[in-house]
Every structure is written in C-alpha cells, then in structure tokens.
C-alpha cells in the first residue's frame, strides 16, 4: 500500500511538472516561437537536403538498372582493336556464366523518311537476344528473330517515343519507313523506359546488326553486350573474358582490360582483330609487340552491376554529407534553446523560490525545465518535418527527384530531441540548485 502511494505521488508530481512546463512555454509566445523556429529550420534543412540527395541516388541507380541487370559490356577503345560480329554469337558457348550475347552497332543521326516527313535519328544494331539482355519488353508486335538477322532482313523495332510520334499513339507495326534510303518494315515497338533511362532507347530505332553494319560501312564491331543469370555468374564471366581478351588483343603482362584477370586462355580463336602498327626507326625494340599508346586502355570489360553498386554507394555518402551539413543548423537551434531557457530561469526566479518554499524538490524543478525544452524540440520537429516535406514537393515540381526518406526523418528527429535535452540540462540544473532563500531575495 505504501509502495502504491509513492507511485501515485510521483505521478501527481510529474503531471504537475508537465502542466507547469506547458504554462512556461505559453507564457511568452514570441520567445517560444523564435526558439521553435530555430529547431524547425534545422529539421526542415535536414529533411529537404537529405530528401534531394536520396532522390538523386534513386534516380541514378534507376538509370543504371534500366540498362539491364547482370549485363557485361565489352568495348574496344582503341581504333586498331575490333571484334568480329560472329564472336558475340559464340560467347554463350565459350564462356561460363554468359547466357546471352549480342554484337552492338551504334550510328547517330541516320536519315529517316516517314511518308512525307524527314528526320535524323540514332539507330542501334543488335541480334535477337536484345530483349533478354536489356530486360526490355515489346508492347506491340514482336522483336525480330534470328532468321531476320541471318537473312539481313530490312526490319525495325521502334523505341516507344519514336513509335508514338508516327501515328499519334497508334501502333505502327506493319508500316514502312525508310532508313538511309532503304525501306524497313516495322515489326515491333518497345515498352517505355522513361526519360533519361535505358540510354535514350525510347528515341532510337533498333535493327539487325548486319543491316546496321551496312549503314555504317564496316565489317567489324567495337562493342559487345553479354548477359548472365545472376550477379555471381556475371563476376565469373568477367574473369574469363578478361583472360581471353588480354591474350587476344596482345596486351603486355602489366596491361589488362578493366575487370580482367590473370590465367590461361581457353582454346579457340575469339576473333578479336588488333591491327599491327609498324614501329618507328628509333623506337625501343622491346615495345614492338605493344600496338597501343602508352597509358591507353584499349579494351574495357564492365559489369553494370558494379556500376550500380558504386553509384549507390557514392550517392549515399553524398546524402549523409548533406544531412551532416544541415544538422549544423540543428546545433544552432539547440544553442538557442539553452539561451532562452537560461533567460527563463533568470526571469522566473521568484516562481522557483515560491515553489521551493512550498515544498517542491530539486528533481521537480529539473523535470519541469527539462520538459519545457523537450516541448519546444518536439514542436520544432513537427513544424520542421512539415516544412521539409513542403520544400521537397516544391523541388519535385521543378523536375528534380526528391523524396521524404525515413533516414532523414530519423536523423532530424534524433538530433533535434537530443539537442533539446542536452542544451536544456544546464538551465534546468541551475534552476533546481537555486536555494529558496536566495530565490526569494532576488525576486
């Protein structure tokens, strides 16, 4: 019974302290408003800046992911390094972990004619495996087949925006358009990737790579796309591809394609062409076998999975840094709480003396002034979150990707409450340690 009485007494004291704290912050609304404003601005800065950083991270990651998952890009960077187109067709059989592969031929500003209209668009030449490699579905018609590729059939698959512009949104499948003066039959339309995604595929025309090579006027290619079923298989395939091309391109012992590895090359010619360059008379004989310029990376083998991870990590660091910079304003707001509370203690000396004279304990005053600072912090948090969400909505209307992230809310609320408690401790202790007689004298 005595224990219950103590608990009830404690609850009554807590309730009374909470009511006194609420009265304390409402007694001077202007002062309270300015204190809340300092916290609110800090919270809004954290929420909005971290929201912009998180939105940028998601946007960049989405752009990389739109290029396909578990995709490996093999690209020649030197003019004297070329691949045979048939080589890509053999990769799934020769390299463990490669499920699909396609040669890639890019050509910019190819003249096209649609009925009486003329324009210039980018084309890309691939084989029938493109939809599987790039995880890109066909929304109308079908993608061209291996038979189309072998027969060099003049067929085309349109990017979403290209198809949409031809017949005002109606499907153009079955229609004829001219590419570089040759009639191509439209057999399919790709699904929409969205602005900035899929390397702008929505605004391109896809044709079989033999037809693209004819437009470009070449027999060899400089880029290959490969696809694995999983990230683990993609890593394994990259090691094998590094071994193959290091030997085939004729690189020295200390020069290797990016992401490549050491080891023996599988048997069989992969068809890589490295045109020899005759050394000059004064050239070092030891360098005769190296057909590349010093410091040049003639070949890169890149995993899009790794690019996604690197972009995600870099943007997460940027987001945290933005949050840290914005959190400084919360520190300023916390100092404002301490200053206001110190002023409040000085102004309310008589109140403290009367309460101590009537039997209030030190912990009662400590709790009261601590609650005042916590109230101000909580109100500032709520107002700051609303301001931050509003700022993010305004930014989003102007084209920037920004989101209210859970991480930003946790950081903002945590820092605001901690600063309210920490900076409210010193004034609260001062108030609780004030002797009753001294308080009454000062009043």
Q: What is the C-alpha to C-alpha distance for residues 435 and 442, in angstroms, rounded to an integer?
A: 11
Parse the chain into domains and list their residue ranges. 14-62+308-442, 71-304
Mean pLDDT of the chain: 78
What does each C-alpha distance from 144 to 58, 141, 209 come to in angstroms? Answer: 33, 10, 11
Which two structure tokens, joined as six digits, stand for 415?
């820092």
The pLDDT score that the predictor gives to residue 250 is 61
Q: What is the C-alpha to C-alpha distance for residues 364 and 313, in angstroms, rounded to an integer?
A: 48
Decide: residue 39, CB within 10 A, 0-12 exposed, 13-18 middle, 19+ buried.
Answer: buried
Q: What is the C-alpha to C-alpha distance for residues 276 and 408, in angstroms, rounded to an integer?
A: 57
The residue assigned the tokens 């609303």 is 386
Q: What is the C-alpha to C-alpha distance for residues 221 and 84, in angstroms, rounded to an integer?
A: 6
Task: Provide, rounded to the nearest whole percent, the portion of the chain with pLDDT above 90.
Answer: 20
Which two structure tokens, joined as six digits, stand for 102?
């396609």
Cα of first residue to Cα of last residue in the chain, in angstroms, is 41
The residue assigned the tokens 């890019």 is 106
Cβ neighbours for 348, distance < 8 A, ≥ 6 positions apart: 24, 431
The residue assigned the tokens 């079989």 is 208
Residues of the chain under the 70 pLDDT cut: 1-3, 5-6, 9, 248-297, 347-350, 352, 356-358, 431-432, 434, 436-443
* Contact status, residue 303 vs residue 228, Cβ threshold 8 Å: no
The pLDDT score that the predictor gives to residue 41 is 86
Determine how many CB atoms are found less than 10 A away from the CB of residue 359. 8
What does each C-alpha distance from 330 to 36, 255, 310, 364, 428 come to in angstroms? Answer: 11, 51, 31, 28, 20
- Angle made by CA atoms 224, 228, 233, in degrees to the nearest 5: 120
Closest CA to 331 of 411, 404, 428: 411
What does each C-alpha distance from 56 to 322, 385, 386 come to in angstroms? Answer: 12, 20, 21
What does each C-alpha distance from 263 to 80, 159, 243, 339 come to in angstroms? Answer: 24, 41, 6, 68
pTM, two decimal places: 0.63
Q: What is the C-alpha to C-alpha distance for residues 233 and 96, in angstroms, rounded to an integer?
A: 8
* Distance, C-alpha 273 to centroid of its chain: 37
The pLDDT score that the predictor gives to residue 18 is 81
Determine how many CB atoms are found less than 10 A away from the CB of residue 81. 22
Residues 249-274 as b or e (16 or more Cβ within 10 Å = b): bbbeeebbbebbeeeeeeeeebebeb
- Residue 264 has φ and ψ, to the nearest 5°, of -80, 150
Cross-strand bridge partners of residue 433: none
The model's pLDDT over 73-104, given as tens digits with 9 standing for 90+, comes to: 888 877 777 888 888 888 888 888 888 899 99
Closest CA to 374 of 423, 327, 343, 417: 417
The pLDDT score that the predictor gives to residue 154 is 93
What does each C-alpha distance from 183 to 55, 112, 175, 233 come to in angstroms? Answer: 44, 10, 10, 41
Q: What is the C-alpha to C-alpha distance for residues 33 and 46, in angstroms, rounded to an integer?
A: 20
Which two structure tokens, joined as six digits, stand for 62?
């989405």
């Amino acid at each position: 019974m005595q224990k219950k009485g103590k608990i009830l007494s404690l609850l009554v004291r807590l309730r009374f302290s909470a009511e006194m704290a609420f009265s304390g912050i409402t007694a001077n609304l202007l002062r309270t408003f300015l204190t809340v404003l300092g916290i609110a601005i800090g919270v809004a800065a954290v929420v909005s800046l971290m929201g912009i950083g998180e939105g940028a991270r998601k946007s960049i990651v989405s752009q990389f992911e739109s290029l396909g998952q578990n995709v490996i890009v093999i690209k020649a960077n030197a003019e004297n390094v070329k691949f045979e187109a048939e080589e890509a067709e053999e990769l799934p059989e020769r390299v463990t972990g490669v499920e699909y592969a396609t040669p890639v031929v890019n050509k910019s500003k190819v003249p096209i004619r649609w009925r009486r209209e003329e324009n210039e668009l980018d084309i890309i030449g691939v084989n029938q495996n493109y939809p599987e490699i790039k995880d890109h579905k066909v929304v109308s018609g079908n993608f061209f087949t291996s038979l189309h590729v072998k027969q060099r059939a003049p067929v085309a698959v349109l990017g979403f925006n290209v198809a949409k512009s031809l017949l005002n949104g109606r499907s153009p499948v079955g229609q004829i358009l001219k590419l570089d003066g040759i009639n191509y039959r439209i057999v399919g339309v790709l699904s929409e990737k969205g602005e900035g995604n899929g390397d702008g595929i929505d605004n391109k025309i896809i044709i079989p790579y033999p037809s693209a090579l004819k437009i470009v006027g070449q027999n060899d290619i400089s880029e290959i796309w490969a696809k694995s079923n999983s990230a683990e298989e993609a890593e394994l395939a990259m090691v094998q591809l590094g071994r193959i091309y290091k030997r085939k391109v004729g690189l020295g012992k200390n020069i290797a394609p990016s992401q490549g590895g050491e080891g023996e090359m599988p048997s069989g010619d992969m068809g890589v062409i490295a045109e020899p360059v005759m050394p000059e008379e004064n050239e070092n004989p030891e360098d005769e076998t190296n057909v590349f310029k010093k410091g040049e990376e003639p070949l890169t083998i890149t995993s899009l999975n790794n690019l996604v991870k690197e972009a995600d990590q870099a943007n997460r660091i940027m987001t945290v840094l933005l949050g840290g910079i914005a959190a400084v304003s919360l520190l300023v707001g916390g100092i404002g709480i301490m200053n206001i509370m110190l002023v409040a203690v000085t102004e309310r000396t008589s109140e403290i003396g009367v309460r101590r004279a009537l039997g209030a304990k030190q912990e009662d005053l400590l709790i009261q002034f601590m609650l005042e600072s916590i109230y101000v912090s909580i109100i500032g948090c709520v107002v700051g979150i609303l301001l931050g969400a509003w700022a993010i909505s305004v930014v989003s209307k102007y084209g920037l990707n920004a989101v209210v992230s859970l991480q930003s809310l946790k950081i903002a609320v945590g820092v605001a409450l901690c600063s309210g408690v920490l900076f409210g401790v010193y004034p609260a202790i001062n108030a609780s340690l004030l002797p009753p007689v001294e308080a009454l004298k000062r009043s």
